[in-house]
């Protein structure tokens, strides 16, 4: 493998933009809405993988590690994954980490296929939300943690992408350190970092959350055919809440740490959550998908 340069060119960014556009243009109208959602999510994921890999220097990394990063690790920190580790840098996962990761993987998968037998079909929103939580546990907290343990056991820098988000005592901690580090690494490198250097961190923060909202609207609301603007509203609320949290007034009332910081964080995240995963998404995407795979 040749060295990848840290430069943005048309050859690197064009494929990242073309793949999601191709999905929207080429998927037939009769395609199930849930399938369109998964295809869009996969297109953005593959595009992001390409962008992070193509713009990362990886001198000396063996070919198999490149393939592993592209196809067997959901993280977006190509620099760390492809870097040559030095002794003592990568801490091998403990037995407790392995057990906890496998437990979440198994329990999440079992719960996803069991909720249909527990929650009445007439309770559509409850059933859909139960299915989403189970699937999130299976994938993000289970499978991704199992992969993290496996790669760290092999001496590769692949830290857990989900780091007990419910323990976050501030929004900055939640979005910056605990929730979906893959998306955080991607946006920080290609969006927040460049914008902060040009327009300042406050404007970059607002732009980053607005981008996240628009992206989620594209993947969630567009396939669902409704709920437009809900995901953007959810993420748009995070920016002023985080700025207030960091302000002198916010710190004066105890935000940013401790119990008050935790309570404020959970309220900001949970109260507008139904705008992010709105009823059209649950009814038109989640439930049909669960029925298609035999989970409802």
pLDDT digits (tens, 9 = 90+) for 21-47: 999 999 998 999 999 999 999 999 999
pLDDT of residue 245: 97
Residue 8 three-state SS: coil
CA–CA distance, 263 with 236 (Å, rounded to integer): 19
Give the H or E element holding residue 22: helix 10-26
Which runs of E-coded beta strand occur in the chain? none
Q: What is the sign, positive or negative, of the torsion defined by CA atoms of 27, 33, 38, 41?
A: positive
pLDDT of residue 4: 43
Give the H or E element holding residue 72: none
CA–CA distance, 288 with 95 (Å, rounded to integer): 38
Q: CB count, 10 Å around CB of 41? A: 16
CA–CA distance, 102 with 144 (Å, rounded to integer): 10
Model confidence over 148-186: pLDDT tens digits?
A: 999 999 999 999 999 999 999 999 999 999 999 999 999
Helices and strands, counts by H and E, the chain: 18, 0
Contact 58, 1 (CB under 8 A): yes
Q: What is the DSSP letter of 295?
A: -
CA–CA distance, 149 with 237 (Å, rounded to integer): 34
Contact 2, 62 (CB under 8 A): no
For 63, the token pair is 């070919």
Q: Taking the model in full, what pTM does it have?
A: 0.92
For 204, the token pair is 């970059």
- Residues in the chain where the model's pLDDT stays below 50: 1-7
pLDDT of residue 42: 96
CA–CA distance, 21 with 80 (Å, rounded to integer): 30
CA–CA distance, 93 with 99 (Å, rounded to integer): 10
CA–CA distance, 19 with 123 (Å, rounded to integer): 37
- State phi, psi for 32 to the nearest 5 degrees: -55, 145
How distant, in Å, are the alpha carbons of 7, 9, 133, 145 from that of 18?
Answer: 19, 14, 31, 30
CA–CA distance, 220 with 34 (Å, rounded to integer): 10
Give the H or E element holding residue 91: none
Contact 146, 102 (CB under 8 A): yes
């Amino acid at each position: 493998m040749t060295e990848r340069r840290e430069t943005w060119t048309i050859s690197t960014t064009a494929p990242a933009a073309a793949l999601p556009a191709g999905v929207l243009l080429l998927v037939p109208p009769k395609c199930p809405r849930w399938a369109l959602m998964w295809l869009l999510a996969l297109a953005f994921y593959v595009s992001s993988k390409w962008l992070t890999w193509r713009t990362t220097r990886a001198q000396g990394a063996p070919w198999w590690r490149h393939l592993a990063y592209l196809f067997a690790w959901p993280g977006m920190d190509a620099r760390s994954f492809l870097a040559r580790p030095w002794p003592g840098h990568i801490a091998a996962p403990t037995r407790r980490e392995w057990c906890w990761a496998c437990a979440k993987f198994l329990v999440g998968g079992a719960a996803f296929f069991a909720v249909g037998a527990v929650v009445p079909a007439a309770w559509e929103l409850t059933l859909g939300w139960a299915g989403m939580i189970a699937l999130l546990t299976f994938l993000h907290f289970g499978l991704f943690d199992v992969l993290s343990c496996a790669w760290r056991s092999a001496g590769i820098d692949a830290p857990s992408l989900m780091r007990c988000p419910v323990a976050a005592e501030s929004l900055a901690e939640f979005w910056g350190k605990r929730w979906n580090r893959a998306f955080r690494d991607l946006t920080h490198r290609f969006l927040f970092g460049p914008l902060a250097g040009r327009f300042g961190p406050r404007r970059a923060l607002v732009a980053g959350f607005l981008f996240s909202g628009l992206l989620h609207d594209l993947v969630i609301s567009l396939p669902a055919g409704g709920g437009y603007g809900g995901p953007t509203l959810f993420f748009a609320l995070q920016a002023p809440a985080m700025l207030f949290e960091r302000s002198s007034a916010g710190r004066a009332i105890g935000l940013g740490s401790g119990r008050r910081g935790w309570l404020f964080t959970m309220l900001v995240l949970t109260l507008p959550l139904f705008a992010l995963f709105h009823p059209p998404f649950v009814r038109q995407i989640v439930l049909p998908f669960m029925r298609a795979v035999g989970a409802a």
